């Protein structure tokens, strides 16, 4: 494709309720969207970076700069495909969230022109995917139980609780008691603990959890190996998994027995498919993580989650979990599942009026020189 223009859209979107984790509390989401205009048509990508570098070293303004000064000019200077983007971007170290946004926009344009859906291209084997929901840290146990009860009533197939030191055993026990026997429950620590907490984390074994996600800092694979050997609850890595090679190493070292795949964090959906294939080959179950995506990112996540190795419900919640209005047609929960889009590209239509209404600043356009 020949890319004629790259548009950078920075939006501020309110959340329907605050979302708190061990690293912060969000009441809205600042979203960086990318539209590529090519000789075969347009495509959209969504950057999953947060406004501050608290979850990751990447953040919205940094991703904007990387796209503005490096990735955007690179695709404007050469004929490109989604498959060639990773090689084209290899001169930029890291910045996987920015790269993923650009690759996704290219893939959307490319597949729309070919009349092919993300699901078909990725290798989806299901028409719908099971959905879990991620529940943030609440002000109190009663408020937590009210929120979880609402999600159970809506039909979500799995509950994930955010935990941190001082907010773990008691809320997990309360939610386990609330749920029906056998209901899927897991916890996510977002790197909030240290190796000194192993004995404390062992107490989570009493609650028959599906998994504990990323208890220690990203770089400390050794600590996760030690924890996995000390507890019966399966350890799942998220932030530690930056690419397929790191995932294979963590699996072989027995630091993880389940992998959370976040395409927007590991460099894009092509790398996500490669990671899925590597895990499937090793009989390691995977699930699709979420980053509070709008319908643009959610459409791609749902298509990815329809691949055969995604055997656990992901964080692919319905649109109304986070947004009163979505940037695309809403994703609606039906019997605990979301339908995989079948239209060309992402299969969704971006609502230009909302892009304009929520804009933090005028659109920035990079043009082919």
Backbone angles phi, psi at 342, to 5 degrees: -115, -5
The stretch 64-91 carries a mean pLDDT of 97
> Could you give the CA distance from residue 44 to residue 346 in angstroms, rounded to a whole number?
9
Confidence of residue 19 (pLDDT cuts 50, 70, 90): confident
Residue 269 confidence class, pLDDT cut points 50, 70, 90 = very high
Residue 319: DSSP 8-state: G
pLDDT-derived band at 24 (thresholds 50, 70, 90) equals confident
Mean pLDDT (the chain, rounded): 96
Helices marked H in 17-95 = 60-66, 72-76, 82-88
Catalytic residue at 262?
yes
For the residues 58-75, what does the mean pLDDT come to?
Answer: 98
Residue 23 has pLDDT above 80, yes or no: no
**pLDDT, position 27:** 84
Among candidate residues 99, 160, 162, 164, the one labeled active-site is: 162
Residue 39 pLDDT grade (very low, low, confident, very high; cuts 50, 70, 90): very high
pLDDT for position 131: 97
Report d(CA 97, CA 245) in Å as an integer. 18
Reported as a single tens digit per residue, the pLDDT across 122-166 is 999 999 999 999 999 999 999 999 999 999 999 999 999 999 999
**Angle, to 10 degrees, between the axis of helix 221-230 and the axis of helix 244-252?**
40
Does the domain spanning 119-339 belong to CATH 3.40.710.10?
A: no
Per cent of the chain over pLDDT 90 is: 95
Q: How far apart are CA 348 and CA 332, in angstroms?
A: 13
Where does the pLDDT of residue 17 fall: very low under 50, low under 70, confident under 90, or very high at 90 and above? Answer: confident
Residue 277: both structure tokens together: 């294939």
Question: Per CATH, the architecture of 3-114+351-367 is what?
Answer: 2-Layer Sandwich (3.30)
Q: Mean of the pLDDT values across residues 81-108? A: 98
- Which tens digits make up the pLDDT trace of 289-305? 999 999 999 999 999 99
Among the options 99, 160, 164, 262, which is catalytic? Answer: 262
End-to-end alpha-carbon separation of the chain, Å? Answer: 16
User: Could you tell me the pLDDT band of residue 22, with boundaries at 50, 70 and 90?
Assistant: low
The percentage of the chain sitting over the pLDDT mark of 70, rounded to a whole number, equals: 99
* DSSP one-letter string for 223-281: HHHHHHHH-SSPEEESTT--SHHHHHHHHHTTS-SEEEE-TTTTT-HHHHHHHHHHHHH
Mean pLDDT for the stretch of residues 40-68: 96
Read off the tokens for 191.
């790197």
Question: Which position has the token pair 């994930």?
Answer: 160
List, as one string, the DSSP characters of 109-176: HHHHHHT-BHHHHHT---SEEEBEEEE---SSHHHHHHHHHHHHHHT-SEEEEE-BTTBSHHHHHHHH
Q: What is the reported pLDDT for 236?
A: 98
Question: Which of 144, 203, 200, 153 shows the shortest CA–CA distance to 174?
Answer: 144
Model confidence at 25, pLDDT cuts 50, 70, 90, reads confident
Whether 162 sits among the annotated catalytic residues: the reply is yes
Give span(s): CATH 3.30.390.10, the chain. 3-114+351-367
Largest CA distance in the chain: 62
Q: Please tell me the total number of residues recorded for the chain in this structure.
A: 369
């Amino acid at each position: 494709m020949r890319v004629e223009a790259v548009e950078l859209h920075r939006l501020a979107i309110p959340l329907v309720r605050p979302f708190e984790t061990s690293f912060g509390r969000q009441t809205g989401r600042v979203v960086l969207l990318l539209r590529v205009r090519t000789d075969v048509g347009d495509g959209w990508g969504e950057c999953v970076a947060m406004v501050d570098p608290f979850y990751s070293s990447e953040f919205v303004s940094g991703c904007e700069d990387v796209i503005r000064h490096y990735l955007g000019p690179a695709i404007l200077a050469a004929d490109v495909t989604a498959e060639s983007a990773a090689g084209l971007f290899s001169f930029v170290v890291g910045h996987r969230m920015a790269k993923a946004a650009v690759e996704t926009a290219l893939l959307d344009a490319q597949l729309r022109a070919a009349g092919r859906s993300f699901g078909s291209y990725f290798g989806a084997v299901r028409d719908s995917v099971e959905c879990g929901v991620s529940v943030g840290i609440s002000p109190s146990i009663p408020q937590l139980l009210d929120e979880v009860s609402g999600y159970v009533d809506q039909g979500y197939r799995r509950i994930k609780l955010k935990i941190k030191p001082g907010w773990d055993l008691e809320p997990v026990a309360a939610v386990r008691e609330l749920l029906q026997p056998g209901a899927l429950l897991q916890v996510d620590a977002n790197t909030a603990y240290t190796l000194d907490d192993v004995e404390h984390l062992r107490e989570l074994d009493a609650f028959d959890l599906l998994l504990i996600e990323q208890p220690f800092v990203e770089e400390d694979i050794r600590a996760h190996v030690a924890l996995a050997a000390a507890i019966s609850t399966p350890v799942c890595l998220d932030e530690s998994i930056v690419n397929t090679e790191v995932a294979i190493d963590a699996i072989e070292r027995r630091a993880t027995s389940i992998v959370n795949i976040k395409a927007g964090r590991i460099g894009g959906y092509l790398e996500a498919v490669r990671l899925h294939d590597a895990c499937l080959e090793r009989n390691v179950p995977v699930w699709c993580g979420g980053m509070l995506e709008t319908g643009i990112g959610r459409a791609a996540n749902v298509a990815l989650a329809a691949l055969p190795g995604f055997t656990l419900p992901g964080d692919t919640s319905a649109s109304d979990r986070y947004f009163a209005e979505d940037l695309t047609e809403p994703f609606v929960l039906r019997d605990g599942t979301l339908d995989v889009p079948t239209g060309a590209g992402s299969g969704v239509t971006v609502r230009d009026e909302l892009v304009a209404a929520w804009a933090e600043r005028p659109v920035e356009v990079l043009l082919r020189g």
